[in-house]
């Protein structure tokens, strides 16, 4: 993918992202402070990646996934649903999965109300990052448990040196990422 959003994203990563240990910090433009023009272009590029298999709905997880997922959904002209994250067991009428967060070192639940995902929907999962793929996998499983069809996954940034893509591909799911990070060694971001 080489649209305007992808080009602007690569420039922002090169010029303004920070590396803190194993983390790529993009909170100055993507997932804390959000630049609407950049996100609109990123959303359009994510939508273009999935034009051949158009979804009925975009699914993401709170909180960092909401901005790119909403931008993508707007570009596609479809609704967006975000899974809520909770600590500990839940007792709600939901579809849920337990997910271990390697960055926070805690286990949390991602939950989607059963009313939000009707059977037969074609669902695109969108998130800001693909690293280990645990949250994305949980969302794909929730979509399928609801009777939906996962048409693919779209990520703003993928850390290719982690196992996320292979985790999702093992399910037969298609994965697209606008920026693919090859390495964060020595505090330097190396993009594909």
* Confidence (pLDDT) at 56: 98
CA distance 94 to 9: 35
What is the reported pTM? 0.94
The Cα–Cα gap between 152 and 165 comes to 12
Q: For 64-79, write each residue's pLDDT tens digit.
A: 999 999 999 999 999 9
User: What domains are there in the chain, each with its CATH number?
Assistant: 4-191 (3.40.50.2020)
The lowest-confidence range among 36-40, 71-75, 101-105, 144-148 is: 101-105
pLDDT given at position 117: 96
For the segment 100-122, the average pLDDT, to the nearest whole number, is: 86
Average pLDDT over residues 107-127: 94
Residue 149 has a pLDDT of 98
Q: What is the 3-state secondary structure (H, E, C) of the chain?
A: CCCHHHHHHHHHHHHHCEEECCEEECCCCCCCCCCHHHHHHHHHHHHHHCCCCCCCEEEEECCCCHHHHHHHHHHHCCCEEEEEEECCCCCCCEEEEEEEECCCCEEEEEEEEHHHCCCCCEEEEEEEEECCCHHHHHHHHHHHHCCCEEEEEEEEEEECCCCHHHHHHCCCCCEEEEEEEEECHHHCCEEC
* CB-CB contact of 129 with 61 (8 Å): no
């Amino acid at each position: 993918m080489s649209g305007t959003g992808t080009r602007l994203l690569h420039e922002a990563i090169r010029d303004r992202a920070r590396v803190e240990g194993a983390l790529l910090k993009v909170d100055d433009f993507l997932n804390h402070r959000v630049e609407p023009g950049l996100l609109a272009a990123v959303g359009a590029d994510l939508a273009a990646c999935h034009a051949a298999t158009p979804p009925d709905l975009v699914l993401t997880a709170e909180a960092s996934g909401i901005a790119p997922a909403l931008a993508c959904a707007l570009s596609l002209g479809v609704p967006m649903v975000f899974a809520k994250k909770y600590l500990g067991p839940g007792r709600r009428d939901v579809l849920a999965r337990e997910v271990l967060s390697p960055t926070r070192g805690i286990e949390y639940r991602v939950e989607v109300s059963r009313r939000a995902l009707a059977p037969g929907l074609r669902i695109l999962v969108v998130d800001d990052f693909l690293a280990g793929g645990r949250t994305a996998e949980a969302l794909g499983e929730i979509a399928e448990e609801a009777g939906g069809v996962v048409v693919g996954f779209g990520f703003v940034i993928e850390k290719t040196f982690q196992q996320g893509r292979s985790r999702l591909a093992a399910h037969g799911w298609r994965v697209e990422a606008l920026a693919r990070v090859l390495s964060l060694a020595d505090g330097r971001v190396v993009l594909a």
